[in-house]
């Protein structure tokens, strides 16, 4: 897989959020997704990941006030990385934060991903004083 192909695939994945139908076609059936944050864990399986993301948009984010901006994306063989921001209205407060993701692709599908966020910034915005 060419270097720019994995960067393009990762950017397409990020820019599809929160469109679950579009995301479905970009994820391998057995995709493994790890969120690095307090109490973070690895979720496995396309349907499980899509259900969890759907819940985020039902219970936390306001879908109509959600913006994910890809700042940079690059690839190397099967792997790609990206830095992006999310700006959104949530049930708790307005939110703007920085993220990075490292992903691995096979046959044009996302098969593994590791996402990192600025958890201190998130806590300060969404639960000030804690």
Residue 51 DSSP SS3: helix
Mind giving me the DSSP string for 14-28? HHHTT-HHHHHTTEE
Cis peptide before 18 (omega within 30 of 0): yes
Closest CA to 53 of 29, 23, 30, 80: 23
Q: What is the pLDDT of residues 72-81, one digit of tens each?
A: 999 998 999 9
- Structure-block tokens of residue 52: 């969890």
- Chain centre distance of CA 49: 10
For the chain, the domains span 3-122
pLDDT of amino acid 36: 80
Q: What is the pTM of this model?
A: 0.88
pLDDT at 4 over 60: no
pLDDT at 8 over 80: yes
Mean pLDDT of all residues in 82-106: 94
Architecture of domain 3-122: Roll (3.10)
Q: What is the pLDDT of residues 10-63, one digit of tens each?
A: 999 999 999 999 999 999 999 999 988 666 689 999 999 999 999 999 999 999
């Amino acid at each position: 897989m060419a270097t720019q192909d994995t960067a393009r695939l990762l950017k397409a994945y990020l820019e599809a959020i929160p469109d679950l139908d579009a995301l479905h076609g970009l994820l391998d059936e057995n995709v493994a997704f790890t969120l690095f944050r307090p109490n973070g864990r690895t979720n496995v399986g396309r349907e499980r990941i899509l259900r969890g993301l759907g819940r985020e948009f039902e219970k936390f984010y306001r879908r109509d006030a959600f913006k994910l901006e890809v700042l940079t994306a690059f690839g190397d063989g099967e792997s790609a990385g990206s830095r992006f921001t999310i700006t959104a209205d949530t049930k708790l407060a307005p939110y703007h934060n920085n993220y990075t993701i490292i992903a691995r692709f096979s046959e044009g599908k996302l098969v593994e991903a590791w996402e990192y966020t600025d958890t201190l910034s998130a806590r300060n915005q969404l639960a000030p004083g804690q």
